[in-house]
Chains A and B, each alone.
Chain A
Amino acid sequence: MSVAVRFEAICKDFGPVRVLHGVSFELSPGRVYGLLGENGAGKSTLMKILAGYEAVSEGQLLIDGQPQRFGSSRAAEAAGIVLIHQEFNLAEHLTVAQNMFLGHEKTRGWLLDEKTMHEEASRYLKQVGLDVSPATKIRDLIVAEKQLVEIAKALSRRARFLIMDEPTATLTSSETQRLFAVMAQLKADGVTILYISHKLDEVERNTDEVIVMRDGRFVTRELTASLTRQQMANLMVGRELSDMFPAKVPLAADAPVLLKVDGLSVPGWSNGLSFEVRAGEVLGFAGLVGAGRTESFEALLGLRTRSAGTISLNGKQVNIRTPREAMINGMTYLSEDRKGKGLHVNLGLRENLTMMTMERYARPWLDLKQEKAALAKAVDDFNIRTGDQGSRARMLSGGNQQKLALAKYLHSDPRVIVLDEPSRGVDVGAKRDIYFLIHRLAAEGRAVIVISSELIELIGLCHRVAVMRAGTLQTTLGAEHLTEEELIAHATGTH
């Protein structure tokens, strides 16, 4: 009934980039595992292989001792393995019951057997402690409920091995507690759970054993009880944290304010946000998902409607309505969504680099030679590793894509730089490069704002960290008060 999983020397290539380098370990049934690793460590890829979403390039996967190659997620489901995605796989316009039986509809003759499906759906919803009617449309549920529907759906497919990718990222703390209660119940029923999370306190409380991956390799496995959170963090990063961050340079007492925001309000997202950042300063923005950080800065750039607020750049009040006006005024914003908003992955490196500053190369015909020279310089300056400067951006690894995105957004030589999750999805080496770049930008007298969900990063980089919760600024902590506990307390409102 239970599923034993064994990875043997699993390798995975995406184009020319190898993201998994011979990963081997085994998971015995009926336990809760925490899978730890930085962004880009290969956790998600490995789990997608296990759940049938990706094929292995080399190596093999053994289920109950038998080599298996799942051709689809459906094949993995048939073996009892289900992955619950970070962004759910639910059809918003269909009902809970319709989603649970999607692709597995029960029929009576040629017609759907709605009655049986409803009854079964109710049973599984009850099992996960979700009190909604199976006839409710998914779009009417809140995120936490959707999560439970996903789990109920997995159970309805007789899941014996549940993979959960960052399940608590968007949940409030009471919702999180409910989820953990469900997980404990599942474990008691003999279901194996593999739980991917960055929240080390949750990993510490809810798992039996942790497995650490780094840069596409298996690093180690330890009983959870034998590790401290600090040890987990060090294992993930693979070096002492102090080595990752350059020493902070104290701010000059007379450093001028470069950006001052007063009473910024974004309908539905934030209310009365005020802050300022000075030349040479790195200001962090912490908060949970949905706290309104990204949306506030998008509104600041004119990418969203703002209902109130004044912006002063370099002491001069400005009215910014488009990203172009922001750029002309010396402010730039790099989105957290690299492939969706930051880079044209299907265009070349050169086209990406000069996209925001074409007027420099057009007179009026584009000077391709000058563009190429600019790319060669950027590749050098930003340490972008690419075999071929003529290739497309999608051929780069995550870290190098991010460096290219940084080069693009810094190409206009901005004075105020807003970086949203600058180290998301990049390997440790690239992460360190990015931290040192941020440090250098500040040292050059620019103002840098870093929005990040990685507390370690905020603590290591920033002079001050502003904490947002539910659209309002809770507090701004100076370097001397920066601890994970303090940041979490303000972000969750339990201070």
Chain B
Amino acid sequence: MQPARTDTTTSSLTKLGARIKGFGPVLGLIALCIAGTLLNGDFATIDNLMNVLTRTAFIGIIAVGMTFVIISGGIDLSVGSMAALIAGCMIYFMNQLAMGMGGDLAPITMLVLGIGMALVLGAGFGLMHGLLISKGNIEPFIVTLGTLGIFRAVLTYLADGGALTLDSTLSDLYSPVYYTSVLGAPIPIWIFLIVAAAGAIILNRTTFGRHVQAIGSNEQVARYAAINVDRVKIATYMLLGVCVGIATVLYVPRLGSATPTTGLLWELEAIAAVVVGGTALKGGEGRIVGTVIGAILLSVISNILNLTSIISVYLNAAVQGVVIIAVAFLQRGRK
């Protein structure tokens, strides 16, 4: 005797419901865009959209890495501080090279070395997080709360409380990375797209991605299924670290300096983008596409506030906060 299946209409209904829920962020984004267009004619211009997307790129790239960490059941609160410290170290290092430590190196080589250092630092910080969390067996929340403080304090110390500013020759050479357009779109947008596409492929079509989901879904089951849980966890934090590195590499040419307020509250925006995109904070499942849409949605909100005067732009974070809580409310009960 097998347990009988009750009528199948209920299950197809729930499936339809799940599908609509999956499109929730997209529908929200479309609604916002329509509202934005109606409120201000400037919203729907190519210039404005490119501007929004370029600003989204930093948070978006970090959010892609954050998606992996959150799906695996972890969290990283330090990404904003990490970006600031990487930016500071990168500028400090390149300035040292420019001031003579680099000898006869061409400026472009100094730039490449600086970029390389940013990525290596990101991976290194991620490795440190991963080791403390997996081998050290400390809650991710605690580890990254600690480094959130450490990273920003070290940057403030390096900048002596002020700003670290990039050497002007290098700065002139570097700024096109942020300001130049390729095939009609600024470089950061292209990098964001590449990172997101790579993230989606890694998450859905590789052994590593599958293991990330397995660990977040149930770590114990993953351990019994011969998965090297520690190694996968460390890799997710390193991946996020590299994403922070990439975001920083794109961010530095924008202003050419790092200050104690660089990257402030980026962790909130990145985590919010992941959650708004439909990834469960307790891990197990999530989608990169959702995260991308979540990140865009959040910056569209702030853009609309900037363009219109219905709600003060000072309340930007408050509106985003309401959106996050509303999304969480809609997702509640999903197990």
Contact = CB atoms under 8 A, between A and B. Distances in A.
A489 interface: no
A458 B201 CA distance: 47
A216 interface: yes
A429 B213 contact: no
Rank and list the top 4 A-B pairs by shortest CB-CB distance, nearest first: A323-B226, A358-B207, A324-B226, A215-B1
Nearest to A327: B226
Interface string A344-360: 11110001000110110
B225 A17 contact: no
Interface stretch (B118-126, B154-162, B216-224, B325-333): B216-224
Contact of A366 (B205, B225, B226): B205
Given A16-B5, A323-B225, A387-B8, A344 B207 contact: no
Contact of A347 (B1, B204, B214, B226): B214
B11 A16 contact: yes
B5 A342 contact: no
A110 interface: no
Contacts of A69: none
Given A324-B226, A385-B2, A365 B201 contact: yes
A13 interface: yes
Contacts, number: 100
B4 interface: yes
A21 B6 CA distance: 12
Contact of B214 (A303, A324, A351, A388): A351
Contact of A397 (B2, B207, B224): B2
A211 interface: no
B226 A18 contact: no
B210 interface: yes
Contact of A303 (B8, B205, B217, B223): B223
Contacts of B308: none
Nearest to A324: B226
Interface string B1-42: 111111010110000000000000000000000000000000
B2 A355 contact: no
B96 interface: no
A13 B220 contact: no
B238 to A, nearest CB: 18
A346 B224 contact: no
B221 A343 contact: yes
Interface of A: 13, 15-19, 21, 215-216, 303, 322-324, 326-327, 333, 335, 340-347, 351, 355-356, 358-359, 362, 364-366, 368, 385, 387-388, 397, 399, 408, 427-429
B287 to A, nearest CB: 15
Contacts of B50: none
Contacts of A358: 207, 210-211
Interface string B185-213: 00000000000000001001111001101
A410 to B, nearest CB: 13
B2 to A, nearest CB: 6
B206 A340 contact: no
Given A303-B223, A366-B206, A428-B1, A13 B6 contact: yes
A353 to B, nearest CB: 11
A19 B1 contact: no
B207 A362 contact: yes
Contact of A429 (B1, B10, B211, B225): B1
Which of A327, A342, A355, A358 has most B Cβ within 10 Å? A355
A344 B71 CA distance: 14
A303 B224 CA distance: 8
B267 interface: no
A355 B1 contact: no
B125 to A, nearest CB: 26
Nearest to A238: B1
Contacts of B10: 16
Contacts of A397: 2-3
B228 interface: yes
A457 B204 CA distance: 41
Contacts of A341: 220-221, 223-224
A265 B227 CA distance: 25
B285 interface: yes
A16 B226 contact: no
B284 interface: yes
B35 to A, nearest CB: 36
Given A365-B201, A366-B207, A344 B214 contact: yes
Scoring A17, A342, A346, A387 by chain B CB atoms within 10 A of each residue's CB, the highest score goes to A346
A347 B222 CA distance: 12
A481 B213 CA distance: 48
Contact of B226 (A21, A322, A344, A388): A322
Q: Which of A326, A347, A388 has the most CB of B within 10 A?
A: A347
Contact of A355 (B3, B214, B220): B214
A234 B214 CA distance: 41
A18 B4 contact: yes
Contacts of B3: 17-19, 215-216, 397, 427
B210 A351 contact: yes
Contacts of B201: 365
Nearest to A427: B1
Nearest to B220: A341
A429 B2 contact: yes
Given A340-B220, A346-B218, A427 B210 contact: no
B4 to A, nearest CB: 5
Contacts of A408: 225
Contacts of B205: 365-366, 368
A16 B222 CA distance: 27
9 contacts: A19-B3, A323-B225, A324-B227, A327-B226, A340-B218, A346-B218, A346-B284, A351-B214, A397-B2
A16 B2 contact: no
A356 B226 contact: yes
A323 B6 contact: no
Contact of B221 (A17, A340, A359): A340
Contacts of A303: 223-224
A355 B206 contact: no
B210 A366 contact: yes
A15 B205 CA distance: 30
Given A341-B221, A347-B214, A365-B206, A16 B1 contact: no
A429 B4 CA distance: 13
A433 B11 CA distance: 28
Interface string B243-274: 00000000000000000000000000000000
B4 A355 contact: no
Contacts of B222: 344, 355
Interface string B274-286: 0000000000110
A335 B1 contact: no
Contacts of B211: 358
A351 to B, nearest CB: 6
B202 to A, nearest CB: 10
Contacts of A366: 204-207, 210
Nearest to B201: A365
Contact of A351 (B11, B213, B227): B213
